[in-house]
Amino acid sequence: MQYQSQSVAKPYFIAAIGLFIGQILFGLVMGLQYVLGDFLFPTIPFNVARMVHTNLLIVWLLFGFMGAAYYLIPEEAERELESPMLAKLMFWIFLVAGSLTVLGYLLLPYAGLAKITGNALFPTMGREFLEQPTITKVGIVVVALAFLYNIGLTILKGRKTVVNIVLITGLIGLALMFLFSFYNPDNVVKDKFYWWWVVHLWVEGVWELILGSILAYVLIKTTGVDREVIEKWLYIIIAMTLITGIIGTGHHYYWIGTPDYWQWFGSVFSALEPIPFFIMVVFAFSVVNKRRREHPNKAAVLWALGTGVMAFLGAGVWGFLHTLAPVNYYTHGTQITAAHGHMSFYGAYVMIVLTIISYAMPLLRGRAAANSNKAQVVEMWGFWLMTVSMVFLTLFLTAAGILQIYLQRASDTPLPFIVVQEKIELFYWLREAVGVVFFIGLMVYVWSFFVKDEEGKSA
Amino acid sequence: MDDQAKPQLAGDLAMWIFIYAELLVFGIFFIGYAFTRAYNIELFNAGQATLDKELGAFNTLVLITGSYCVVRAVTAIRQEQSPVCVRWLGAALASGLLFLIVKVFEYKDKLAAGYDLDSNLFFMFYFSLTFFHFMHVILGMVILGFVLLKTQRGGYSASEHRGLESAASYWHMVDLVWVVLFPLLYILK
């Protein structure tokens, strides 16, 4: 660790992993509720479990992104963070606000939470992924502004590199797009239209910039390949992301009441969205092949390569599967969407956060460059258990989705939704089983932080 | 003619990846156009009849002239003549601007006649294809403007003008797309 203030990243990373565990637990609850509808009812109804599962994911990824920025920006800008105090303060504000919100979801009926938090004054609640009370949303904006101020000034007063400029561009975009969560028109078409500006332009737009820059940073550090080479790759990845991703928003506008031309725009542009992810795979592997040194942190390199591959599969391939309008006509809102959602979030964003944690955490904990071999082996076990089980989870959901589409929408004698759900139960059981394996993988991963090395020091 | 003895990529590889990606987007749209047209020949012929072929042809000449200017600009810098290069780049920019002006008049005409993106399939293609191209002309002009300023500051020389070549290649791509787009939309029956 070259700069003292980089250490503020540590609590962010720890919180991220803690919330990740919570997210997976609620995922397991929901997975079981798919087959045993009454499980934990009425304590944790399905809709609440789902809300907690998705909201925790977003919040812990945000913790991860902020931790990544606090860690890598001082090093890139070659100066201490503008205000480490502010970063620490924001950490606690974000953690407390996030926890209170989740407790609100769990302990109160949603309508009651809306009432207490004064949703009637400025209604923004009740929309998928944006369920947070308005006051929490305001809190997110405050934290985001303080965060951007902090890293923005650090960059402005320090060295500007392609990596930190791309990263802050992505983070500013993230904050700007979130503002659309405050726009809540009565017209349902308009509501959905702009809702996607938060949801889609995050994950298929600005977040990809964050992903690209973190990946570039870790590859620069672990391979010793020239910055110039890596920066050129980053430029191409960003250009392709924005060319395809922005108008690619159209693939959400097929059936919501928007004009027909969106079927063309959405299909053509989003069909090309796999390209930046494919370039990312080629990028990661070619840079690692050209490495000028053997970095002792093998686990971090594994995570970096894994991110490239899994993001391409989950976001690129599984996204393409159902992105063309004539295909999406059948697949819309089925388990195919769930399959894609799981593998793309894991492959792109979960893995990039775990990549930077894998690289930075040993340094934050005062190791020379990496954890002991023993700890790295355990970490890699975590990598493989989580990644392989996520592949199977995706395949089972895809199988469930294909069956669902056929039985419910494509066959000559279509069956009602709930009848079909019972018929594809087997795949939901299989999904739950690999979900348990994923959780075991996560526990192994967490355990890797506590493995003692040869001299008996905790890794 | 050393360049021919040892074939080299004109401009940066990154720019070529970008160019091919752009061509891919347009290519997919062209294929979509071809298939849709095959199923709606009458509609497409009727739509095509409303287009102003003369303006389209004029604009084709304008863009080809622009490409010629860019070629002369690259030749000039290879002979270490920065001021000449700047003038040719200026001429290329002017041709781009002329193209945009003509196109704006065409759009005004179509909108005044009550056609828009939502009128029918033909006009969906007409407006989206030409407008995406329109935006690319603007981007091409921004890139040309950038290298023009750099040339003015003496940023390129006979031995080092990779950036200029990259800009020229991009501008040729903008031209190329129009050369396919024009017959496809305006002429082909």
Q: Do A236 and B124 touch (CB under 8 A)?
A: no
What is the percent of chain A with per-residue pLDDT over 70, rounded to a whole number?
A: 98
Instruction: Name every chain B residue with its beta carbon within 8 A of the beta carbon of A239.
Output: 18, 21
Q: Per-residue pLDDT tens for A5-21?
A: 999 999 999 999 999 99
Q: Per-residue pLDDT tens for A280-329?
A: 999 999 999 999 999 999 999 999 999 999 999 999 999 999 999 999 99
DSSP lists the bridge partners of residue A452 as A458
Q: Give the residue, B22 or A394, on which the prediction is more confident.
A: A394
Specify the pTM. 0.92
Buried b (16+ CB within 10 A) or exposed e, A192-220: bbbbbbbbbbbbbbbbbbbbbbbbbbbbb
Residue boundaries of the structural domains of chain B: 21-187
Determine contact, residues A25/A58, Cβ cutoff 8 Å.
no
DSSP lists the bridge partners of residue A458 as A452
DSSP A159-207: ---HHHHHHHHHHHHHHHHHGGGG---SSHHHHHHHHHHHHHHIIIIIH
Residues of A at the B interface (Cβ-Cβ below 8 Å)?
232, 235-236, 239-240, 243-244, 259-261, 264-265, 268-269, 271-272, 275, 279
- A vs B, Cβ pairs < 8 A, gives 40
pLDDT, residue A458, reads: 56
Q: Do B22 and A240 touch (CB under 8 A)?
A: no
CB atoms within 10 A of CB A414: 13
Q: What one-letter code names the amino acid at B172?
A: H
Indicate the Cα dihedral angle A269, A270, A275, A278, nearest 10°.
Answer: 180
Beta-carbon contacts of A376 under 8 Å, excluding residues fewer than 6 positions away, are A297, A298, A299, A370, A448
Q: Is pLDDT at A385 greater than 60 in this prediction?
A: yes
**ipTM of the shown complex:** 0.84
pLDDT bucket at A455, cuts 50 / 70 / 90? low
pLDDT, residue B1, reads: 43
Environment class of residue B139 by beta-carbon count within 10 Å: exposed (0-12), middle (13-18) or buried (19+)?
middle
Q: Do A265 and B22 touch (CB under 8 A)?
A: no
First to last CA, chain B: 43
Determine contact, residues A280/A237, Cβ cutoff 8 Å.
yes
Q: Which residue has the tokens 């002006």?
A: B101
Q: Do A240 and B128 touch (CB under 8 A)?
A: no
**In this complex, which of B25, B118, B124 lies closest to A243 when CB atoms are compared?**
B25
* Integer Cα distance of B63 and B171 in angstroms: 9
Instruction: Name every chain B residue with its beta carbon within 8 A of the beta carbon of A279.
Output: 17
* Integer Cα distance of A402 and A414 in angstroms: 14
Q: What is the mean pLDDT of residues A246-263?
A: 96
C-alpha radius of gyration, chain A, whole number: 22
Residue boundaries of the structural domains of chain A: 1-160, 371-459
Q: What is the mean pLDDT of residues A241-265?
A: 95
DSSP 3-state of B16: helix
pLDDT bucket at B112, cuts 50 / 70 / 90? very high
**In this complex, which of B22, B118, B128 lies closest to A265 when CB atoms are compared?**
B128
**Residue B152: left if φ>0, alpha if ψ -120 to 50, beta else—which one?**
alpha
Q: Which residue has the tokens 């990598």?
A: A383
- B16 lies within 8 A of chain A by CB: no
**In this complex, which of A232, A264, A275 lies closest to B21 when CB atoms are compared?**
A275
pLDDT, residue A425, reads: 97
CATH 3.40.1550.10 fits B21-187, yes or no: no
CB atoms within 10 A of CB B130: 22
Q: What is the mean pLDDT of residues A141-150?
A: 97
Closest by CA position to B28, among listed A326, A258, A200, A270 = A270
Q: Which two tokens stand for residue A360?
A: 């930075």
Determine contact, residues A377/A432, Cβ cutoff 8 Å.
no
Helices and strands in chain A: count of H runs, count of E runs: 19, 0
Sign of CA dihedral A19, A336, A324, B19: positive
pLDDT bucket at B17, cuts 50 / 70 / 90? confident
Mean pLDDT, chain A, whole residue set: 96
pLDDT bucket at A457, cuts 50 / 70 / 90? low
Q: Give the residue, A28 or B25, on which the prediction is more confident.
A: A28
CA nearest to B127 within chain A: A261
pLDDT, residue A238, reads: 93
pLDDT, residue B4, reads: 53
Q: Which residue has the tokens 């907690």?
A: A52
**In this complex, which of B14, B24, B118 lies closest to A236 when CB atoms are compared?**
B14
Q: Do A259 and B117 touch (CB under 8 A)?
A: yes
Instruction: Name every chain B residue with its beta carbon within 8 A of the beta carbon of A268.
Output: 25, 28-29, 32
